[in-house]
Amino acid sequence: FAPRHLLSIADLTPAEFATLVRNAASHKRAIKSGAIPQSLIGSLSGKTVAMMFNKRSTRTRVSTEAAAVQMGGHPMFLGKEDIQLGVNESLYDTSVVISSMVSCIVARVAKHSDVADLAQHSTVPVINALCDSFHPLQIIADFLTIYESFTPKAHTVSSLGLEGLKIAWVGDANNVLFDLAIGATKMGVDIHVATPKGYEIPAAMVDIIQRAGDGVTHAGKLIQTNVPEEAVKDADLLVTDTWVSMGQEEEAKKRMKAFEGFQITADLAKRGGAKEHWKFMHCLPRHPEEVSDEVFYSPRSLVFPEAENRLWAAISALEGFVVNKGKIVE
Ligand code: CP
Ligand code: NVA
């Protein structure tokens, strides 16, 4: 029996993705009002969630540990100094050994092929906690944030009622953008991406994003440009991330220069013609070069609710992939 893994939003049907977001929303409402859903209480009792992280993390680590505890499970944090992962022992051996003792592996590694390898040999679900290509837990939280902040239309089981919304991503084409664009395509949300020349979404990834819309009645469209103002036109949401992802530190100087003019500011939103009600999102950690303080700390900014939503996303994902063994149901 092969476990079901969550390596990217691309692994989910639109109905499954929408259900994970809706479950996160309803668990959030219930738990915040003091009524913990019966189905969650002790749902991970006696189960260990191994967290293999070979990169730093604040939100992913804290949200996963807190989610596992709220569900009665035991999170076991295994940092890169703690275990032999990829340094003194192969991924294959690590994966077989750890999965023989725990109920789930949440892994933050560098290469997508590493987390895919782990999943291939693991006998328990592997949840990707960020690799160079995807960040599914972040995108469940991001769509929860969008769902809560924009009044959704009536929706079917396969959608969140967000069709027709427009995201402008201004900055680097990275892991967070790729899964965000996959989620947007599935939910009928258009995404216009502005990157400097030479930093566009790689062709193979454009393919994956576009294929996410296969069979979707109202698939979101992906448009790329090198002009920030063009991406921002008529946008409901302006989104960005760091210009220098973990592992790219050696390129920092070159990137700072290449991304000049790509900072999200109130002036850019005005010049570009964003919708009057535009909001701002960022997965964090944030650096001032990619977004001005004026925007980041303004009432338009959803960054702190977005960060909190990582907890509800983690609960929803652990429920779907560990408690319910990959069957994603309301
Ligand atoms: N957004 C996010 O994944 O943050 P961390 O790197 O702090 O986990
Ligand atoms: N793109 C960033 C996201 C961090 C959550 C990185 O990979 O470092």
The pLDDT tens digits for 143-169 are 999 999 998 888 889 999 999 999 999
Asked if residue 70 is part of any domain, the answer here is yes
Asked if residue 252 is part of any domain, the answer here is yes
Q: What is the pLDDT of residue 55?
A: 92
Asked if residue 329 is part of any domain, the answer here is no
Are residues 13 and 151 part of one domain? no
List, for residues 86-135, the tens digit of each pLDDT value: 678 887 888 899 999 999 999 999 999 999 999 999 999 999 999 999 99
CA distances from 53 to 48, 60, 68, 227 (A): 15, 10, 16, 36
Is 60's C-beta closer than 6 angstroms to any atom of ligand 1?
Answer: yes
CA of 57, closest atom in ligand 2: 5
By C-alpha distance, which of 61, 67, 71, 70 is closest to 108? 61
Asked if residue 4 is part of any domain, the answer here is no
Average pLDDT over all residues of the chain:
96
Residue 247, judged by CB atoms within 10 A of its CB (0-12, 13-18, 19+), counts as exposed
CA of 59, closest atom in ligand 2: 5
**Could you count the other beta carbons within 10 Å of the beta carbon of residue 33?**
8
Q: How far is the CA of 217 from the centre of ligand 1 (A)?
A: 33
- Kindly report the CATH number assigned to the domain that includes residue 318: 3.40.50.1370
Q: Where are the beta strands (DSSP E) in 4-151?
A: 48-53, 74-79, 104-108, 126-128
Are residues 29 and 84 part of one domain? yes
Asked if residue 2 is part of any domain, the answer here is no
Are residues 102 and 153 part of one domain? no
Q: What is the pLDDT of residue 86?
A: 67
Of the residues 50, 105, 283, 307, only one is catalytic, namely 283
Is residue 17 scored above 90 in pLDDT? yes
**Total count of domains within the chain:** 2
Is residue 82 scored above 90 in pLDDT? no
- Alpha helices per DSSP H over 87-237: 91-99, 112-121, 136-149, 175-187, 203-211, 228-232
Is 48's C-beta closer than 6 angstroms to any atom of ligand 1?
Answer: no
Asked if residue 328 is part of any domain, the answer here is no
Asked if residue 68 is part of any domain, the answer here is yes
Q: Is the ipTM of this complex over 0.90?
A: yes
Q: Whose CA is nearest to atom 1 of ligand 1?
A: 283
Residue 15: phi, psi to the nearest 5?
-65, -40
Are residues 25 and 170 part of one domain? no
Q: How far is the CA of 312 from the centre of ligand 1 (A)?
A: 15
Are residues 289 and 149 part of one domain? yes
Are residues 29 and 130 part of one domain? yes
Are residues 230 and 211 part of one domain? yes
Residue 283 bears catalytic tag: yes
The answer to whether the beta carbons of residues 142 and 25 sit under 8 Å apart is no
As for ligand 2, residues whose beta carbon falls within 6 Å of it are 130, 174-176, 241-242, 245-246, 283
Domain range enclosing 314: 9-134+310-323
Are residues 267 and 202 part of one domain? yes
Is 39's C-beta closer than 6 angstroms to any atom of ligand 1?
Answer: no
Are residues 20 and 130 part of one domain? yes
Q: Which SS3 state, helix, strand or coil, does residue 112 take?
A: helix
By C-alpha distance, which of 197, 268, 276 is closest to 232? 268
Are residues 251 and 123 part of one domain? no
Q: Give me the sign of the Cα torsion angle 95, 101, 102, 104.
A: positive
Residue 208 tokens read as: 């994956």
Q: What is the pLDDT of residue 87?
A: 73
Residue 294 tokens read as: 């004026």
List, for residues 34-43, the tens digit of each pLDDT value: 999 999 999 9
Longest dimension (CA), the chain: 56
Q: What is the pLDDT of residue 186?
A: 98
Are residues 205 and 102 part of one domain? no
CA of 307, closest atom in ligand 1: 1
Give the C-alpha separation, 90 to 171, whole Å: 35
The answer to whether the beta carbons of residues 219 and 186 sit under 8 Å apart is yes
Q: Give the mean model confidence (pLDDT) for residues 226-233.
A: 98
Does the pTM surpass 0.95? The reply is: yes
Asked if residue 1 is part of any domain, the answer here is no
Is 284's C-beta closer than 6 angstroms to any atom of ligand 1?
Answer: yes
Is 128's C-beta closer than 6 angstroms to any atom of ligand 1?
Answer: no
Q: What angle do CA 140, 143, 145 make, to 5 degrees?
A: 110
Residue 167: phi, psi to the nearest 5?
-100, 135
Are residues 170 and 127 part of one domain? no
Q: What is the pLDDT of residue 95?
A: 86
